[in-house]
Chains A and B, each alone.
Chain A
Amino acid sequence: EAGVTQSPTHLIKTRGQQATLRCSPISGHTSVYWYQQALGLGLQFLLWYDEGEERNRGNFPPRFSGRQFPNYSSELNVNALELEDSALYLCASSFGHLQETQYFGPGTRLLVL
């Protein structure tokens, strides 16, 4: 069974640009979660989507946004990129309840120059 997939694996942008990251959950999972893992800061919760709707949001500015498509895949958009947005962005999926086990994708490494 295929796991969570993310694309691209690496992304290089410059300040002020926009980045789009993509995630495909495990088949049958309806929830997708996005996390930012920056050096020294640990995993920071960004967004949770379930059944196409945003269920919860972490303490990030509005320029971090996303959506979930009818096939449960998801996009994370980061506008007006800043240097400190450089991080590993991890996507996870689960069966739809926050207390279900989350399975992580390999992540997208975003570098903002």
Chain B
Amino acid sequence: RKEVEQDPGPFNVPEGATVAFNCTYSNSASQSFFWYRQDCRKEPKLLMSVYSSGNEDGRFTAQLNRASQYISLLIRDSKLSDSATYLCVVIESPMNSGYSTLTFGKGTMLLVSP
């Protein structure tokens, strides 16, 4: 079973639409979660951290559902410039292991059209 899974998409939406992506993780010991954005042929850049209480940054809202083991990213009022691949990141620190691991999902591609 894959540790971190994302729907690869692409999600094709018109400008102004609201779109949401999920990212599921398999290890309940996972502690920290992030969303990164990667433009075509560019490096990933942090979009936002995901807090247990959920967090919002402008048009972007990230939420964590520990019971169902997934994180979500909601984008409101989509812009053409939102077209990119969105990567989720899960960090886990297994109890008594003395180490942490970081796993990226493969990403979800978003295409916003005029």
Contact = CB atoms under 8 A, between A and B. Distances in A.
Given A45-B101, A98-B100, A104 B107 contact: no
A90 B100 contact: no
B42 A106 contact: yes
Range of interface residues on A (Cβ < 8 Å): 20 to 34
B102 A107 contact: no
When A and B form their complex, which 8 residue pairs have the shortest distance between CB atoms, in order from nearest?
A42-B106, A104-B43, A43-B104, A98-B100, A99-B32, A104-B44, A101-B46, A106-B43
Contacts of A90: 43-44
A98 B34 CA distance: 12
Is the contact region of chain A dominated by helix, strand, or loop, or is it mixed?
strand
A105 interface: yes
B45 interface: yes
A32 B12 CA distance: 35
Contact of B100 (A35, A41, A42, A99): A99
Interface in B88-114: 91, 93, 99-107
Interface in B28-45: 31-32, 34, 42-45
Interface residues of B, number: 21
A56 B43 contact: no
Interface of B: 31-32, 34, 42-46, 49, 87, 91, 93, 99-107
A22 B101 CA distance: 23
Interface of A: 33, 35, 41-45, 48, 55-56, 90, 98-99, 101-107
B34 A41 contact: no
Nearest to A41: B106
Contacts of A44: 104
A93 B87 CA distance: 17
Contacts of A43: 44, 87, 104, 106
Contacts of B32: 99
Contact of B31 (A45, A99, A104): A99
Nearest to A45: B102
Given A42-B107, A43-B87, A105 B102 contact: no
